[in-house]
Amino acid sequence: MNRMPLLLTGIFLTFFSAWLGLVAMPYIHLGRFKPQVDDVTREETPPPFSGEALQGATIYAANGCIYCHSQQVRPLEAGADLERGWGARRTVARDYMRDKVAYFGTSRTGPDLSNIGARQPSAEWHYQHLYQPQVVSKGSIMPAFKFLFEKRRISGQPSADAIKMQPPDEAEPGWEIVPTREGKQLVAYLLSLKRSTYPLPEAPEETPAK
C-alpha cells in the first residue's frame, strides 16, 4: 500500500465516523435539555444552583473530591446503588443540565454524592466531617480538609459560624474554628446535591426489593 491519499482518507474516515457517533450525536441528543416546569407552581426541576453552590462546584473540582466520589446513581439492574440508599431513582442526563461541569466520577473510594444534600442536610455535619472525617465517621480514610477552615482568636463574641469540635480537634480556649469562604461555598454545593430526589417523567422512582 503506497497510495498515500488512500491511507490518509482511511485514517480520517475511521476517526471521523467515531467523532460523529460519539461527539456529534450526544451533542444533539443530550446537549439541549430544558427543565420540567410544574403546571401549577411554575417550579422548575431540576432546580437551579445558587451562585454560592456553583462557586462550591469549583472548590469541589480544585480539591479533587472526584478522585474518590462519584455523582451518578445506577439503575437497579446495574448495581447496588439504590439499595445502598444513594438515591430514590437512577440519575438521568437531564439531572445534570444545571451543572457547568458535571463530576460523574469513576471511583468509589468514598460513597456516591449525587444526593448527599438530602442524605446529610446538616451544614454543621459537613463542616465537622470536612475538618476531621474520622470524628463523624470512624475509620474513614477521607483526608481532612483543614485548609478550608481558619483557626482564629475570638475577639469579643464568638462567631456564629464557628464549628464545634471535640478534643483533640477542638480549638484551644480563646480560639475558634470557622470555615473560610471556600469552605462555605463547598458545603453550599454539597447541600444542593439532590439530583434524584424529585421525579422526572423519563425517570420514575425505583424501589429496591428488600
Partner 1 sequence: MYNPTYTFIAVAIGAAVVFALFAFYYAARTGQLQNLEEGSKVIFDEKEPVGQPTDAFPGAQPGTVPAKSDSTKS
Partner 2 sequence: MAALAEAQPAKPSLADSIDPSTTESLKYKAERAAIDRSLRGPVLCFIGGAIFWLLLGSLFALIASIKMNVPGFLGDSAFLTFGRVRPAHLNAVGYGWGAQIAMAVGLWLMARLCRIEVRHGGLLYMAFGLFNAGVMIGILAILGGQGTSVEWLEFPTYAALVVFAGFALVAIWAVIMFRFRQPGHVYVSQWYILAAFFWFPWLYATANMVIFILPVQAAVQGPVNWWYGHNALGLFFTPIALATAYYMIPKVIGRPVHSYYLSILGFWSLAFFYSWNGMHHLIGGPFPAWLISASVVASIMMVVPVITTGINHHFTMVGHFNALRWSPTLRFTVFGAMCYTLSSLQGSSMAIRSVNQVTHFTHYTIGHAHLGLYGFFTMIMFGAIYYIVPRLVEWEWPSASLIRWHFWLSAIGVSAMFIVLSIGGLFQGFALEDPKISFLTSTNYANAFLWMRSISGIALTAAHIIFASSFALILLHAGVVRRRPTLLDRPA
Name the residues that contact ligand HEC, by CB under 6 A: 60, 63-65, 67-69, 109-111, 113, 116, 119-120, 126, 129, 133, 137, 140-143, 145, 186, 190
How many CB atoms within 10 Å of residue 144?
A: 16
Of the candidates 30, 3, 10, 154, the one whose C-alpha atom is nearest the C-alpha of residue 97 is 30
- Shortest CB 195 distance to partner 2, Å: 9
Q: What does 78 bind: partner 1, ligand HEC, partner 2, none (CB cut-off 5 to 8 Å by kind)?
A: partner 2
* 6 contacts partner 1 (rule: CB under 8 A): yes
* Contact residue for partner 1 among 3, 138, 153, 210 (CB under 8 A): 3
Q: Which is nearer to partner 2, 125 or 147 (CB)?
A: 147
Q: Is residue 132 within 8 Å of 149, Cβ to Cβ?
A: no
Q: What is the dihedral of CA 177, 180, 185, 190, to 10 degrees?
A: -30
Q: Is residue 131 within 8 Å of 165, Cβ to Cβ?
A: yes
Of residues 22 through 41, those in contact with partner 1 by CB under 8 A are 24-25, 28-29
Q: Which is nearer to partner 1, 4 or 209 (CB)?
A: 4
Judge residue 136's burial from the number of C-beta atoms within 10 Å of its C-beta, 0-12 exposed, 13-18 middle, 19 or more buried: middle
Of residues 115 through 144, those in contact with partner 2 by CB under 8 A are 133, 137, 139-144
Q: Which residues contact 207 (CB under 8 A, 6 or more apart)?
A: 82
Write out the residues near partner 1 by the rule CB under 8 A.
Answer: 1-3, 6, 9-10, 13, 16-17, 20-21, 24-25, 28-29
